[in-house]
Amino acid sequence: MGAELRRDDMEVAEEDISDSQAFRFVEHVLQSVRMDPFQVDLRDKEEYDSLLSIVDSSKKRSYDDEALLVTTLKALSEAVSKIDIMYHHALLNNIFTMSIWYLNSDTRDALLSLITRLAAVADQFLRECLQMLVNNFTPPGSLTAFIGQPRWLARKKEIYSQLHESLRMISDTVPLAPRMLKDIIDRSMPKLFDNKAKMVSFVECMLGLDNDRMGDLIGALLLAKVVDLLTELDVNITWEDILQDEHNKGIFDMELEDLGEDEDSLGQEGTKALFGGNACAEKLDGLMVVFCEHLKSCKEHGRLPQEFDILKTIFRASVLRVHKSKFAQFIMFYACSLDPEICGLEFALFLSDIFIKKEEDSISRMSAVSYVGSYLSRARFISADTVVGILKRLVDWCVDYCDLQNNIGITTKPINHQIFYASCQAVMYILCFRLRSIMDYPNLKAQLFNMPFGYILTHPLEPLKVCLPSIVDEFLRQAKAARLFNASVHSEFEDALESDLSKTFGGMNRLDMFFPFDPYLLKESDRYMRPNFEYWSMVKTTYNNYNSDVDDELVDLDAPEMNVGSLDDHVEIDLNSDDDLEYSMNKMSITPNRSFFHQIMANSDTGLTMPARIRPSVSPPS
């Protein structure tokens, strides 16, 4: 072994001791106490104790001590067959409670190779070894404060790669070890109330494992665990947290000044203000960054398609039906944006498949159609022909549904036709965002204009009366400008904010309010989503071409609203003021024209005119 020892300082024996002598000595000590404690010779016991004190997890070490530790660890790994779970319990305990974070690189190597050997020797140590490695996924408590410093970042990387290497070696010698590792990771997963640094480093290390060959074995499980954690954090952020702060801001009109002053402090201030120090949101933010980085590295290594397949399954199982989730679903959004041609398209098809399949339960189907609507509207990377293709599927389904209803006779209770209304709403929502851009392509335009919108919208089921008024209104406005269909359809909501029907529908069924990909509010991870996200302020509408006066008017009306929640849009993008205010209002709202109404109603007592997506979240279904 090539270790350079400080021989003169060796405590184990006198000067000029060679590696092999030290090894033999340790072996001898181990052997000599391998018997009933009463029979152990006192001198041997003493030597064993001194061995214990060298391998002490809590001790602070000088360089000499550290060198001594390296030799001892190497000697131990040469003598693993002598280590006995009965008689060397104290020694093993010391080894397994060591934290590798404080050790030098050499020492870490020695310790980890000892661990891998122990794991391979006899299975009785396997669990402890794996547990010890997993424990070291997170730095010890006293270190977490410094872990963000650059000095530690490099070290952290190194430690992670060493841990991964050790785990890989263990799985080489004990092929079934990953099964056990799975359980151990499962049990050691950070809990909701662990601090952010711990969570982030654990997940980072865990996802690092997925890159490895280990990923083939337990990658799917690791991802599922992380997604579960994300969702759990997500549902623990309540909209009250966010809204309260936004309202306060609005009331005090403070952020304009704040913006000026804090411009260079990036989003941190904003996040704090936004969430009022909501711990869950911050943790989620950190984890989203880690996850997005992971996806990015997958993309770089060409493993994104496989990863995406796994993610899809996980999404289906644990995110799709969670209506309170606000941000966790953006991992799908980001994954899609990394590979629009394959993943992006696949996701759209996957969602519409779920929607169309009769075997799926209605909650999943409605969720899926809401996802389709929100996704196609917001994902800038999705091409217009994909949008038209999916729209066609949705419209075809609606037509079939209408036909079927004609045949069997209509019951007009909205609650019986939830899925139909949800899909109508999704279609309209997509068109609000996309109609103008589709019009640019003559062939797509022709396809779109061939779809029987008039038939569906004027059908006795009266989707226009039931869907969200703001969407209906915006849709009709755009459709009229574009002359999308001939039938004389007019909004029912000109004088009322919500029809009774719509209310019952909305009240009974939260899904009509579910817009999964609304603007992303987490500060740190926002940079991953923003470039691919379509904000309403940037959408070109059909009526814009023909009737710019109206638009100006609108902006004027919006103007007083601008302060509501315009917190974090100021830094990265230099929006002109009009965009800014429209964008800011958009952050809260899914509905394009909401503030138009909102403005009118703001002075009256309509608390009901809250942005649509907020309500369902605040009062989750029981």
Partner 1 sequence: MDALREAEAKLTVYVHPSNAADVRRAVARQLSSLLFSYEDRFDGVLLAHEATVESEQGKILNGLVPYFGVPVHANLLLYSPKPDMMLEGKVEMLGKESIHAIVLGVFSAAIMLDDIHEKFKFKRKKYGGKFVSRSDKQHVIKKGSMIRFSVKRVDAEMNCHVTGSLIPPHTGSMLWLSVHDDEYALEINSGKRSRDNKIKTEQHEQDHSVKSSGRKHKSKSRKRSFEER
Q: Is 124 in the site for partner 1 (CB under 8 A)?
A: yes
Stretch that binds partner 1, among 118-126, 276-284, 588-596, 602-610 (CB under 8 A): 118-126
The answer to whether residue 18 forms part of the interface with partner 1 (CB under 8 A) is no
Among positions 140, 141, 148, 175, the unique one binding partner 1 when judged by CB under 8 A: 175
CA 158 to chain centre: 25
Residue 132 φ/ψ region, left for φ over 0, alpha for ψ in the -120 to 50 degree band, beta for the rest: alpha
Query: Please, what is the minimum distance in Å from the beta carbon of residue 153 to partner 1?
Result: 31
Site for partner 1 contains 3 (CB under 8 A): no
Least distance from partner 1 to the Cβ atom of residue 296, Å: 34
Determine the Cα–Cα distance for residues 25 and 47; give it in Å rounded to an integer.
10
CA distances from 364 to 317, 369, 448, 574 (A): 10, 9, 27, 39
Q: Smallest distance from the beta carbon of 323 to partner 1, in angstroms?
A: 23
Alpha carbon distance 501, 523 (integer Å): 38
Nearer to partner 1, 117 or 523 (CB): 117
Supply the minimum distance, in Å, between the C-beta of residue 78 and partner 1. 6
Residue 95's nearest CA partner among 113, 81, 120 is: 113
**Residue environment code for 253-264, b if the CB has 16+ CB neighbours within 10 A, otherwise e:** eebeebbeebee
Question: CA-CA distance, 324 to 238, in Å (whole number)?
Answer: 9
| Nearest distance, CB of residue 79 and partner 1, angstroms | 6
Of 33, 126, 222, 394, the residue at the interface with partner 1 (CB under 8 A) is 126
Could you say whether residue 332 binds partner 1 (CB under 8 A)? no
d(CA 19, CA 75): 8
Candidate residues 117, 198, 477, 598; the one interacting with partner 1 per rule CB under 8 A: 117
Residue 173 or 548: the one with the smaller Cβ distance to partner 1 is 173
412/485 Cα distance (integer angstroms)? 24
CB of 123 to partner 1, least distance (A): 4
Q: Is 173 in the site for partner 1 (CB under 8 A)?
A: yes
Q: Which lies closer to partner 1 via its Cβ, residue 57 or residue 124?
A: 124
Min dist. Cβ of residue 577 to partner 1 (A): 57
In the complex, least distance from residue 110 CB atom to partner 1, rounded to whole angstroms: 14
* 120 lies in the binding site for partner 1 (CB under 8 A): yes
User: Which residue stretch of 76-84, 160-168, 331-339, 434-442 sits at the interface with partner 1 (rule: CB under 8 A)?
Assistant: 76-84
Q: How far apart are CA 591 and CA 599, in angstroms?
A: 13
Q: Considering beta carbons, is residue 126 or 338 the nearer one to partner 1?
A: 126
Among 85, 153, 176, 446, binds partner 1 (CB under 8 A): 176
80 counts as binding partner 1 under rule CB under 8 A: yes
> Maximum CA pair distance of the chain?
102
Q: How far is CA 226 from CA 219, 241, 424, in A?
A: 11, 24, 34
d(CA 229, CA 235): 10
Query: Would you count residue 225 as binding partner 1 (CB under 8 A)?
Result: no
The number of residues in the chain equals 622
- Contact with partner 1 (CB under 8 A) among 11, 64, 123, 556: 123
The piece of 77-85, 345-353, 498-506, 587-595 that touches partner 1 (CB under 8 A) is 77-85
CB 121 → partner 1: shortest distance, Å? 6
- b (16+ CB within 10 A) / e for 219-235: bbbbbbbbbbbbbbbbb
- Least gap, CB of 316 to partner 1 (angstroms): 17
Q: Cα separations (Å) of 151 from 17, 31, 155, 202? A: 36, 42, 7, 19
Interface segment toward partner 1; rule CB under 8 A; list 121-129, 460-468, 497-505, 558-566: 121-129
Looking at the Cβ atoms of 72 and 377, the one nearer to partner 1 is 72
Size of the site for partner 1 (CB under 8 A): 20
Instruction: Give the x/- contact pattern for partner 1 in 133-172, rule: CB under 8 A.
Output: ------------------------------------x--x
Amino acid at 57: S
Q: Which H helix or E strand runs over 17?
A: none
Member of 3, 13, 85, 122 binding partner 1 (CB under 8 A): 122
Nearer to partner 1, 95 or 331 (CB): 95
Let me know if 15 is exposed, middle or buried by CB neighbors in 10 A (0-12, 13-18, 19+): exposed
Cα–Cα dist 517/378, whole Å: 7
Q: Give the closest residue to 295 by CA, choosing from 336, 261, 348.
A: 336
Q: Which of 6, 59, 157, 179 binds partner 1 (CB under 8 A)?
A: 179
**Given the complex with partner 1, which of 176 and 256 has the nearer CB atom?**
176
Pick from 569, 566, 577, 575: nearest CA to 530: 569
For position 174 contacting partner 1 by CB under 8 A, the verdict is yes
If one asks whether residue 214 binds partner 1 (CB under 8 A), the answer comes out as: no
| CA-to-CA separations, 520 to 328, 350, 529, in angstroms, rounded | 10, 23, 7
**Residue number with CB closer to partner 1 (22 or 466):** 22
Task: Name the residues that contact partner 1, by CB under 8 A.
Answer: 77-82, 117, 120-124, 126, 169, 172-176, 179
